[in-house]
Amino acid sequence: MGLFRFKYLVYVTFALSLCVIALGAYTRLTEAGLGCPDWPGCYGFATVPQTSEQQLQALAAFPDSPVDVEKAWNEMFHRYLAGTLGVFILIINLVAWRRKNTPRGLPALLLGTVVFQAVLGMWTVTMSLMPVVVMGHLLGGFTTAALLLLLALRVRRREARIVSQFHRHSSSHSLTGASLLAAAALAVTIGQVALGGWTAANYAAVVCTQLPICEVDWQQHFDLSAFNPIQPEHDSYQYGVLNFPQRVSIHVAHRLGAALTTVVLLVLVWRLWQFAILRGLALAVSGALLLQLSLGITNIVASLPLLVAVGHNVVGAMLLLTLVAANYQIYSYRTPLRSHWNNAREG
């Protein structure tokens, strides 16, 4: 397989990872995460039990988990798609190791990530939606997509042999500043994604229904124990086990985090706009940010409509990916520029 075909294999796999993220959000939001009480099968079958005989066997094996066919199919479709993604990532590794001049480190890291994702998927079921596992599973999905995007950018750059140059008025110092700001923006956004995952995993998304912060006296009742990753053991964590003040604390932290993230990203957009070659990235970041804020506000005022909530997850992933792309592009532009300055000093 030539580099050209390998590039499109990576592109298809990246698109598939976004579908897995969207379907994972839909599965979680439709309360189908425990649609199948076992893993990797469903009630002991490779697919959802459908005949009367199969459903009787399922009920006998799992008497506390009656079959809900719709939820079970939601969960199994997610597993099938995630498994397909894993196969594609395995193929990427096999091709990468057979070809010269193809990145190998990133494919290997991707394979390790998707294997760990499978383990987290199993734990999500066997640990009955333990919040830290659910949040980790979400972060793992975003990480998989981010690594695939990085691989796609690296392959594309290598194929085209792009050596980017800034305008003559650009300086190493100004580009370093943009690089540091982009890295900070990425770190803040990752933290906000984690807060969003923690909010969803603890069913805290609709405890505050008014803007801008919360109708509850959250300052009086703010409880740091809500952020303890290891919660007391329960038979199931579905629908949440934290009390109301703890859920309010999580929700408010997510809103405050959104405000901080917005400020940092707007500063980044302003900085990127100063470089003509980075203005496309500035528009991408600002567009994703505006859409994400709109979806977040809609979730609050409309009490978490399903499609809006799924969109909020997907656009959150897209926002994170635009920042990954921004960091990579700035790094790519800095490399030849740094070499130019070093050569000038040596000369």
pLDDT at 332: 83
Query: What is the arithmetic mean of pLDDT over 18-42?
Result: 96
Q: Could you give the CA distance from residue 226 to residue 272 in angstroms, rounded to a whole number?
A: 37
pLDDT at 168: 42
2 confidence band (pLDDT: 50, 70, 90): low
pLDDT at 271: 94
Give the 3-state secondary structure of residue 246.
helix
Q: Tell me the C-alpha to C-alpha distance, in Å, between residue 261 and each of 73, 140, 192, 285, 288.
A: 36, 21, 7, 12, 12
pLDDT of 302 strictly over 90: yes
pLDDT in tens, 243-264: 999 999 999 999 999 999 999 9
pLDDT of 169 strictly over 90: no
The residue length of the chain stands at 347
Query: What H or E segment, with its residue span, contains residue 170?
Result: none
Tokens of 129: 């939606």
Degrees, nearest 5: CA angle 213-249-75: 100
pLDDT at 165: 44
164 confidence band (pLDDT: 50, 70, 90): very low
Q: Could you give the CA distance from residue 76 to residue 130 in angstroms, rounded to a whole number?
A: 19
pLDDT at 54: 94
Residue with more model confidence, 221 or 36:
36
Helix axes 131-160, 69-98, angle to 10 degrees: 40
Specify the long-range contacts of residues 231-240, CB closer than 8 Å, at least 24 apart.
231/130, 231/131, 231/132, 234/128, 235/128, 236/34, 236/128, 236/129, 237/127, 237/128, 237/129, 237/130, 237/131, 237/134, 237/201, 238/31, 238/33, 238/34, 238/128, 238/129, 239/203, 240/202, 240/203, 240/204
Give the 3-state secondary structure of residue 165.
coil
pLDDT in tens, 46-79: 999 999 999 999 999 999 999 999 999 999 999 9
Q: In whole angstroms, what separates CA 243 from the centre of its chain?
A: 27
Residue 75 a catalytic site member: yes
Residue with more model confidence, 107 or 347:
107
Q: Which residues of 113-152 are buried (b: 16+ CB within 10 A; e: fewer)?
A: bbeebbebbebbbebbbbbbbbbbbbbbbbbbbbbbbbbb
Considering the chain, what percentage of its residues have pLDDT values greater than 70? 90
pLDDT at 159: 63
**Residues 6 or more apart from 257 whose CB is under 8 A from it?**
191, 192, 195
Note the helical H segments in the chain: 3-29, 52-61, 69-98, 105-126, 131-160, 172-201, 218-221, 244-273, 279-301, 306-346
Q: Is the pTM of this model over 0.85?
A: yes
pLDDT at 204: 96
pLDDT in tens, 89-146: 999 999 998 887 788 899 999 999 999 999 999 999 999 999 999 999 999 999 999 9
pLDDT at 99: 80
What is the average pLDDT score of the chain? 90
pLDDT at 100: 77
Query: What is the arithmetic mean of pLDDT over 195-199?
Result: 97
Catalytic residue among 31, 75, 215, 233: 75
Query: What is the arithmetic mean of pLDDT over 296-301?
Result: 95
